[in-house]
Amino acid sequence: MLDLLNLPGIKPVDIRTQNKSIVIVAEMVDDTIPLCPDCNKPMHKHGKRSTIFADTPMQMQPVRLEIKRPRYRCESCGKMTSPELTFLDEKRRATKRLVDAIRQRCLGATFRAIAEQTGVAVNTVKNIAHDLIEELEETVRYETPVIMGIDEVNLAGGYRCVITNLATNSVYEMLEYRTQDHLKPFFKELPDREKVEWVCTDMWRPFKRSFAEYLPNARLVIDKFHVVKMASEALEEERKKYQAELNKEERIYVKKSIRWLTLKRPDNLSPTEREALAIVRLKIPELSVAHDIKEEFFKIYDEPDRESAENAFREWEECLPGDKMPRFRDLAKTVHNHYEDIFAYWDAPFKITNAYTEGLNGLIKMSNRMGRGYSYEIIRAKTLYSEEARKVGSGVRPTRGKVEYGPYIPTLVKIVEDGKPD
Ligand SMILES: [Zn+2]
């Protein structure tokens, strides 16, 4: 029979199909009688044992390997042995090459799909994945970001803390929660922590407390999008108050939702949308005032340098209407409370934002598609160790050898959007 197995020490003697699997029966090639390892005397044949192992699929079907091995017994001491086969993972009842193939794929495809393709139990796939993750934890090291983003992303059933490299747009690390209990040890253990020059995050205070102690050279910059988002939220509050003032015909004419029209930057509106916005502004003067205030706030970020940005903010604040529109007043207050960290935006070597990290929220789709039963740990590993996304931006530097910055966020997002986790 043709040796389609190509495994050392055994040869196939029979093949059959059974329950949608290919069963290959194999025997030992060498049947030399061994010596007892204790007594050093020749042993005696003592029947045969047959064990079933999963092997790599053939013709898209799971393969079960039925290996018949002789058993030997020592007449002097009673010891029993069976020949060992180095290509087997006895614990997992699978060939090592199958375990390797599963390791290669387990972070890309669903455990269930792999189990179906290989005939291995889902739990075994899960165990292989956990072992792999443990190894990756030990061996994979990404370069500490010089410009670090810290953000929250809704992932695997909760808000997770994502640490990114904003210069390379890659994920550096993921923490289960963004509490000080998780952040402090992270910063404390961070290799080359003196390298971090900038940290970009939202206005959540504990961040600052967590890293100030451990990152001696880092400056905080509050993420632009978290700041302007408050202007949008303030506008929304006003919009809800006045929207009802349009009559039915006017609403039909406006078509697009007023929310959409007013929240979008005017430059991004189509000519028709711009016309619709003009009508809304004409019909609801109060909303048009609020809309202007929001727009003027956004424009602060268009300023080229810190001084003009600070001036623009001052002018904006001076133009706020008395005691009306309290949410915009709150926004002004928040800017004052975080003044240094907000205007640090203009001190950084380039315009630092966490905009890309937001895209990671889409990873929740991945965990949903993969079905329940995926722990945070697995989602984290699938994100952090994605082979495809790790290809981008990594390379070899002549002085330092292999350098990696972590999975590239646009690739991660694309993998999720294409619905092709592997
Ligand atoms: Zn013996």
* CA of residue 46 to ligand 1 center, whole Å: 14
Structural contact between residues 198 and 176, judged by C-beta atoms closer than 8 angstroms: no
Average pLDDT, the chain: 87
Structural contact between residues 413 and 362, judged by C-beta atoms closer than 8 angstroms: yes
Identify any residues that bridge with 173 across adjacent strands, giving them in sequence order.
163
What's the start-to-end Cα distance of the chain, in Å?
36
179 DSSP assignment: S
- CA separation for the pair 324, 280 (Å, rounded): 20
- CA separation for the pair 215, 82 (Å, rounded): 58
Q: What is the mean pLDDT of residues 364-393?
A: 75
Cα 76 to chain centroid, rounded: 60
Q: What is the mean pLDDT of residues 195-200?
A: 94
pLDDT value at 403 more than 70:
yes
* CA of residue 348 to ligand 1 center, whole Å: 76
70 DSSP assignment: E
Identify any residues that bridge with 239 across adjacent strands, giving them in sequence order.
none
* CA of residue 293 to ligand 1 center, whole Å: 92
3-state secondary structure (DSSP) of residue 51: strand
pTM of the model: 0.79
* CA of residue 290 to ligand 1 center, whole Å: 92
Cα 83 to chain centroid, rounded: 44
How confident is residue 94, by pLDDT bands cut at 50, 70 and 90?
A: very high
How confident is residue 400, by pLDDT bands cut at 50, 70 and 90?
A: low
* CA of residue 67 to ligand 1 center, whole Å: 25
Q: Identify which of 352, 340, 287 has the alpha carbon closest to the alpha carbon of residue 313.
A: 340
- CA separation for the pair 132, 29 (Å, rounded): 33
* CA of residue 203 to ligand 1 center, whole Å: 73
* CA of residue 41 to ligand 1 center, whole Å: 7
Phi, psi of 213 (to 5 degrees): -70, -30
Q: What is the mean pLDDT of residues 316-322?
A: 90
Q: Residue 381: count other Cβ atoms within 10 Å of its Cβ.
A: 21
* CA of residue 80 to ligand 1 center, whole Å: 8
Q: What is the mean pLDDT of residues 144-171?
A: 89
How confident is residue 364, by pLDDT bands cut at 50, 70 and 90?
A: low
- CA separation for the pair 414, 160 (Å, rounded): 20
pLDDT value at 372 more than 50:
yes
Residue percentage of the chain with pLDDT more than 70: 91
* CA of residue 49 to ligand 1 center, whole Å: 20
* CA of residue 94 to ligand 1 center, whole Å: 30
| Between 342 and 154, the higher pLDDT residue | 342
* CA of residue 87 to ligand 1 center, whole Å: 26
| Between 412 and 194, the higher pLDDT residue | 194
| Between 414 and 397, the higher pLDDT residue | 414
Q: Virtual CA dihedral for 273, 279, 285, 287, nearest 10 degrees? A: -30
Output the pLDDT for position 339: 96
* CA of residue 44 to ligand 1 center, whole Å: 10
Q: Identify which of 416, 383, 411, 305 has the alpha carbon closest to the alpha carbon of residue 142.
A: 383
* CA of residue 70 to ligand 1 center, whole Å: 17
pLDDT value at 208 more than 70:
yes
* CA of residue 401 to ligand 1 center, whole Å: 53
How confident is residue 251, by pLDDT bands cut at 50, 70 and 90?
A: low
pLDDT value at 272 more than 70:
yes
Q: What is the mean pLDDT of residues 129-137?
A: 93
pLDDT value at 96 more than 80:
yes
Structural contact between residues 239 and 262, judged by C-beta atoms closer than 8 angstroms: yes
- CA separation for the pair 402, 394 (Å, rounded): 8
* CA of residue 192 to ligand 1 center, whole Å: 58
Output the pLDDT for position 422: 42
Output the pLDDT for position 154: 80
Output the pLDDT for position 7: 92
Output the pLDDT for position 371: 56
3-state secondary structure (DSSP) of residue 99: helix
**DSSP states along 330-377:** HHHHHHHHTHHHHHGGGTSSS----HHHHGGGGHHHHHHHT-TT--HH
How confident is residue 365, by pLDDT bands cut at 50, 70 and 90?
A: low
Q: Residue 98: count other Cβ atoms within 10 Å of its Cβ.
A: 26
Give the amino acid at 281. Answer: R
pLDDT value at 420 more than 60:
no
Q: Identify which of 59, 51, 48 has the alpha carbon closest to the alpha carbon of residue 89.
A: 51
* CA of residue 30 to ligand 1 center, whole Å: 21
* CA of residue 13 to ligand 1 center, whole Å: 31
- CA separation for the pair 16, 271 (Å, rounded): 69
Output the pLDDT for position 421: 46
Identify any residues that bridge with 23 across adjacent strands, giving them in sequence order.
16, 64
* CA of residue 33 to ligand 1 center, whole Å: 13
Structural contact between residues 374 and 156, judged by C-beta atoms closer than 8 angstroms: yes
Q: Virtual CA dihedral for 394, 398, 399, 400, nearest 10 degrees? A: 30
pLDDT value at 369 more than 80:
no
* CA of residue 393 to ligand 1 center, whole Å: 59
Cα 415 to chain centroid, rounded: 11
* CA of residue 93 to ligand 1 center, whole Å: 28
